[in-house]
Amino acid sequence: MAYLTLFPVGSIMRANLFGYRDLHDPWLRRLREAPEESLFAAMPGLRKLTGKFAVTDFIKIRPVDLYVTSGYEQPGIVLVGDAFATSCPAAGTGVRKVLTDVERLCNVHIPRWLATRGMGTEKIAAFYDDPVKRACDAHSAAKAYHLRSFSIDTGLPWRARRAGKFVAHFGIGTLRQMGERLSARSPVRQRSSAASSPRP
């Protein structure tokens, strides 16, 4: 798995789970048939976070494929964002990709294109060859494959990275709890001190 997000929508809670499994993996069937048990088995710490819950709606499962369009250099047509090359939802680069494409189009390429007649493939190719766009696309693809390896690769370097991240997050959580306990105690001390001090 890559991540699980939980957020309230009105009186219910919505969950988005992103993972790396084949569509024929038996675990997906188990998730549909017994969602609570499947999630608690996969993430033992989830019960402490959420408490007991019940899945009341149909679980929607859909694949996400990474692809790059071919034959895209067509006169007068430009593909931006996922229409040109998809991004991984778990990596969170989709909005950046489409905004970068649109920014380059509006601020750089369209003004140049409209300065002369026609909209042939040589003009369209300039957009796809834009170094800023290409760097953004490359970053998006690299982050997608990095996250996949970080999430499920069994090699020692990736296992060490996961362990390091776990330790770091555990430390942050521990420090946050300590800070909350200290801040909860300090007003009590102030009130006790004020009550015991004599009036002038």
- pLDDT, tens digit, 9 for 90 and up, residues 74-93: 999 999 999 999 999 889 99
Does the predicted TM-score (pTM) go above 0.85? Answer: no
Give the burial string for 143-171 (b: 16+ CB within 10 Å, else e). Answer: bbeebbeebeeeeeeeeeeeeeeeeeeee
Residue 12's SS3 state is strand
Average pLDDT over residues 36-40: 93
Tens digit of each residue's pLDDT (9 = 90 or more) over 129-184: 999 999 999 999 999 999 999 999 999 999 999 999 989 988 998 999 898 888 88
Is the distance from CB of 171 to CB of 143 less than 8 angstroms?
no
Residue 140: C-alpha distances to residues 5, 104, 135, 136, 193 (Å): 21, 17, 9, 6, 57
Average pLDDT over residues 53-68: 89
